[in-house]
Amino acid sequence: MTAKKKAAKKRVVAKKIVKKAVKAPVKKPVKALVKAAPKTAKVTLDVYDVQNVPEHQHFYFVNGVRVKNVKELAEVMDKIEQEVFDYHVTMDKNDFHSWVNGVFQDMELAEKLLGVTSPKHLQFTIYKHVADKALKKR
């Protein structure tokens, strides 16, 4: 066999190997990973959303928005303006801290809320606290 024929045969064999490698291995490892993945519990805000407080204990924002539990407080932070947030959180007061501490008696979360500086920061702090609490329950 000549050198040209040997080189051509090697290229054909190499192409077949590449085609097989590209098609086959993708499906098997993915299935194996999916089967091996552990089942995880669903983490929700159930820690607070069942504790709707009476109307006289709802949190009223300066713009008229009202929330009846900590879950709603976190959710409304997506829509709240920075000026409204700044009204409730100043150097001298933190209305969110006072509400969570006074109404829900959750001093741990209330303390964390003392350091918030923006609506997104408050939202993240609540979600992280609730997730940590849910994981501890397991």
pLDDT digits (tens, 9 = 90+) for 3-35: 666 666 666 555 555 455 445 444 444 444 444
- Can you name the residues that pair with 68 across neighbouring β-strands? none
* Beta-bridge partner residues of 89: 94
Query: Quick one: pLDDT at residue 113?
Result: 96
The Cα–Cα gap between 133 and 62 comes to 30
Query: Half-sphere exposure of residue 13, counting CA atoms within 13 Å on the CB side?
Result: 6
Our CA angle for 47, 48, 51, nearest 5°, is: 125
Mean pLDDT of 92-118: 95
Contact between residue 52 and residue 69 where contact means Cβ atoms under 8 Å apart: yes
101 pLDDT above the threshold of 70: yes
Give the pair of three-digit tokens for residue 63: 């713009």
Quick one: which H or E segment has residue 101?
helix 95-104
This prediction has a pTM of 0.64
Question: How far, in Å, are 58, 99, 122 from residue 102 at the CA level?
Answer: 11, 5, 17
Residue entry with tokens 């997104």: 120
Residue with tokens 């920061």: 121
